Amino acid sequence: MKKRTQKMAALLATVSIGAFAISSAGMAETLQDVMKRRGLSENDIMAAAKTYTPTGKHDEFLVFSSGGQSGQVIVYGIPSMRILKYIGVFTPEPWQGYGFDDESRKVLQEGSKVDGREVLFGDTHHPSISETNGDTDGQFLFINDKNTPRIAVIDLKDFETKQIVKNPIMQSDHGGAFVSPNSEYVIEASQYPAPLGGEYVPIEQFNEKYRGAVTYWKFNRTKGRIEPENSFSIELPPYSQDLSDFGKGPSDGWSFTNSFCAERYVGGIERGRPPFEAGCSAKDVDFLHVVNWKKAEELVKAGKTKTISGMKVLPLDVAAKEGVLFLIPEPKSPHGADVTPDGKYIIVSGKLDTHATVYSFEKIQAAIKAGKFSGKDEYGVPIIDLGASVHKQVELGLGPLHTQYDSKACIAYTSIYVDSQVTKWDYCEGKVLDKLSVHYNIGHLMAMEGDTAHPKGKYLVALNKLAIDRFAPVGPLHPQNHQLIDISGDKMQLLYDMPLPLGEPHYAVSISTDRLKPSIRYPSGTNSRTDEKSPFGVRAGSEHTDTKPGRVEVFGTVIRSHITPEIIEANEGDEIVIHLTNLERAEDETHGFAVSKHNVNLSLEPGKTVSATFKANKAGVYPYYCTEFCSALHLEMEGYLLVKPANYKASTAKGKAGSSYTKADYDARVKANVETQGVIDSVVGYITSVNYKDFPQAVALVEDATDQLGFAKSAKEKSEDFAKKQDWNNAMLWAEQWFQYQVKTADIGLRAKTHLEQNGAKKVQK
């Protein structure tokens, strides 16, 4: 017993000598020595200095990267390139309990149940942050799934997926998710043409019956959800629509979607036909779709739509006739359509052309007004003359793809796929300014807030398709490679290679960290997936279990370091429903909950209520436990699910669980507790002797410690009650529980003390 108290004092001592220990270590090597030993140049040291982020310092920008086929979103910081989080979106993610608790499974299943099948992966391509006046506002994140056309809504208050909407008319998508300047709509354009609504039509009727489409999903910002009933689509010709962008400023109210395979070619290698790749690139031009979505919105309101699979669709002939849809030729198999920050131009690059084409919105409007069309396509859509709408065409390199913008006017960066380069150029003047080689085969690239009305410049990330020789080999499947580039000067400088172990990420978006205001806890008893109070949340002391034939329903809680209840009894074949509420208020005090040999793994962040429903299909003894190392007695945060066989008769055999204790045990425990209280008092003495109230982090820790001390007090009272009744067993056990709360108090107190010492707390006059 004495030993534990001594340990506590030793712990306290290490806190005060820690600073000395650090300064005495590592004196031998100089910076030059390290450079020599590791073969680093001065340039390397400069790059390191520009990215290295010391302990405790935060990144200037956060990046939300597509996680590709992993169906997740990857969150990392810039300039450190440290990964902060994977957000489960279209795929179950066990650590966050995503797809394992009933609440999140509902979100996932709403999006993953497709015609009776369950699709548990997503090919994520384009994330997009909600915008206000064309600038990212940090409230919501959207991302599309190319394979099973869907859009997910992630709330950036807690970085959780809240909603997945399936596109009922498309069979694949690509041109999403991108938001209108005030996030009224999230756009999703189809990729591979197919009959709208998913019916079967022979491929020979491709031109007649196969179609593309673009969907405008109505976003309700107050609710934080997409409203399918207020969303609409526009039917498009069966060209392979590719990427979309919304206009802003002068071009607000319009959207732009490029396409490839305007040839409408259908391959069939096995039938002796040349492959898709030949037929889809045979002609010199494809079409940029120019859409007046505000006008489309009016026509939808006026009832000019047909309904396909519950979706309001503006028919192609109506869109063509009513001035909603126009086409402009674009050179050879383009990829990317990126509106400039001022909304005056749209840049489209041809994958098989060395040029980027800068379209002028003003010229496009003039041509439309004058009715100057070079003709119509087979579906009656007016075609605007390329020459009449182009501002500049600039030769950028082999295989230009995507474009991002700088904080400096007229400056753009375009990824050059075949040359594996980034080209920096001036789209106003049509001049190339700089080129930087990257490794290898860059797809998208991303500048800080580089697709908004006010890009921040500073850094650029190249999202490379291959990693080949960049990292230590880890088998035939290589990591992805995101390369950080400094764009603050005239010349671009490569700073850092980050391997990403999830892929393939296509696009990423960034935001100034200070624009994000995520919460650190939920109001107690919250269903985080609906943002509402859970009907299953309970407060401390009102935990209970409802048992009915065939069903056991538990309303429990978790808090350092126990789960209530600790024993759950059921019969073989019962349905078990466990609702748990995390009673913690303290930051980062997440508990987990897993049940032996069952597919149950929950994550309970402070305040959250989650539920698990499963079948106890086999009799046995199943330990359950907390999966997060939450406190010194984390391993003891455990319990038993006892599943009795059918027709089980209670055994008459005598049995015993645990040890028994005497008055001497109790007295020794109490004595040790009193000494521990002395340690706690000294920590409290230090904290209250300084200006801790000026440190919000310390204030939060002190609040938590006060909570724990309150629990210690009530355990102490219980032990004293039992002592009065001379029930030494219970008296001793409650005295031990009293000690456990003291340990938690001391642990938190020491954290506060360390924080205050490291952040220069000052003595105050009492």
Select from 47, 89, 214, 243 the one that contacts ligand CUK (CB under 6 A). 243
Task: Give the Cα separation of 743 and 15 in Å (integer).
Answer: 16
Closest to ligand CUA by CB, 600 or 630: 630
Locus of tokens 């390191």:
48
Locus of tokens 């608790």:
101
Q: Please provide the DSSP assignment of 495-554 as one string.
A: EEEEEESS-----EEEEEGGG----SSPPTTEETTTTEE-TT---TT--EEEEETTEEEE
Considering the rule CB under 6 A, would residue 508 count as an interface residue with ligand CUK? no
Which partner, ligand CUK, ligand CUA, none, binds residue 224 by CB below 5 to 8 Å per kind? none
Closest to ligand CUK by CB, 77 or 334: 334
Task: Give the Cα separation of 635 and 529 in Å (integer).
Answer: 29
**Radius of gyration (C-alpha) of the chain in whole angstroms:** 31
Considering the rule CB under 6 A, would residue 316 count as an interface residue with ligand CUA? no
Considering the rule CB under 6 A, would residue 626 count as an interface residue with ligand CUA? yes
Which partner, ligand CUA, ligand CUK, none, binds residue 515 by CB below 5 to 8 Å per kind? none
Ranges of H-type helices in 336-427? 361-370, 386-389
Select from 358, 637, 690, 748 the one that contacts ligand CUA (CB under 6 A). 637
Task: Give the Cα separation of 534 and 529 in Å (integer).
Answer: 10
Considering the rule CB under 6 A, would residue 704 count as an interface residue with ligand CUA? no
Which residue number places its CB atom closest to ligand CUK?
443
Binding mask 274-293 for ligand CUK (x = CB under 6 A): --------------------
For residues 592 and 616, the answer to whether their CB atoms sit within 8 Å is no
Taking the complex as a whole, the smallest distance from the CB of residue 220 to ligand CUA amounts, in Å, to 37
Which partner, ligand CUA, ligand CUK, none, binds residue 293 by CB below 5 to 8 Å per kind? none
Closest to ligand CUA by CB, 624 or 734: 624
Q: Phi then psi for 223, rounded to 5 degrees?
A: -80, -20
Residue 676: how many CA atoms within 13 Å on its side-chain side? Answer: 28
For residues 313 and 242, the answer to whether their CB atoms sit within 8 Å is no
Select from 47, 262, 630, 746 the one that contacts ligand CUA (CB under 6 A). 630
Considering the rule CB under 6 A, would residue 174 count as an interface residue with ligand CUK? yes
Task: Give the Cα separation of 683 and 700 in Å (integer).
Answer: 16
Which of the residues 119 through 138 are near ligand CUK (CB under 6 A)?
125-126
Considering the rule CB under 6 A, would residue 444 count as an interface residue with ligand CUK? yes
Q: How many residues bind ligand CUK (CB under 6 A)?
A: 11
The residue count of the chain comes to 766
Closest to ligand CUA by CB, 629 or 648: 629
Q: Look at strands 591-595 and 345-350 and give their pairing.
A: unpaired
Considering the rule CB under 6 A, would residue 382 count as an interface residue with ligand CUK? no
For residues 110 and 534, the answer to whether their CB atoms sit within 8 Å is no
Considering the rule CB under 6 A, would residue 591 count as an interface residue with ligand CUA? yes
Taking the complex as a whole, the smallest distance from the CB of residue 235 to ligand CUK amounts, in Å, to 22
Q: Which stretch binds ligand CUA (CB under 6 A): 260-268, 395-403, 438-446, 627-635?
A: 627-635
Select from 168, 247, 443, 639 the one that contacts ligand CUK (CB under 6 A). 443
- The torsion defined by the Cα of 524, 695, 63 and 60, in degrees rounded to 10, comes to 160
Select from 145, 184, 628, 704 the one that contacts ligand CUA (CB under 6 A). 628
Considering the rule CB under 6 A, would residue 151 count as an interface residue with ligand CUK? no
Q: How far is CA 550 from CA 545, 547, 591, in A?
A: 14, 8, 29
For residues 158 and 518, the answer to whether their CB atoms sit within 8 Å is yes
For residues 362 and 344, the answer to whether their CB atoms sit within 8 Å is yes
Ranges of H-type helices in 360-508? 361-370, 386-389
Q: Look at strands 480-486 and 493-500 and give their pairing.
A: antiparallel
Select from 150, 312, 335, 482 the one that contacts ligand CUK (CB under 6 A). 335
Taking the complex as a whole, the smallest distance from the CB of residue 183 to ligand CUK amounts, in Å, to 20
Task: Give the Cα separation of 594 and 530 in Å (integer).
Answer: 23
Closest to ligand CUK by CB, 508 or 746: 508
Closest to ligand CUA by CB, 286 or 747: 747
For residues 403 and 367, the answer to whether their CB atoms sit within 8 Å is no
Which partner, ligand CUA, ligand CUK, none, binds residue 630 by CB below 5 to 8 Å per kind? ligand CUA
> Nearest Cα to 594, choosing from 612, 619, 575?
612
Closest to ligand CUK by CB, 460 or 679: 460
According to DSSP, residue 635 is labeled G
Task: Give the Cα separation of 164 and 114 in Å (integer).
Answer: 12
Which partner, ligand CUA, ligand CUK, none, binds residue 193 by CB below 5 to 8 Å per kind? none
- The H or E element containing residue 423 is strand 421-426
Q: Which stretch binds ligand CUA (CB under 6 A): 64-72, 236-244, 624-632, 712-720?
A: 624-632
Give contact residues for ligand CUK (rule: CB under 6 A).
125-126, 174, 243, 335, 401-402, 443-444, 506-507
Give contact residues for ligand CUA (rule: CB under 6 A).
561, 591, 626, 628-630, 634, 637
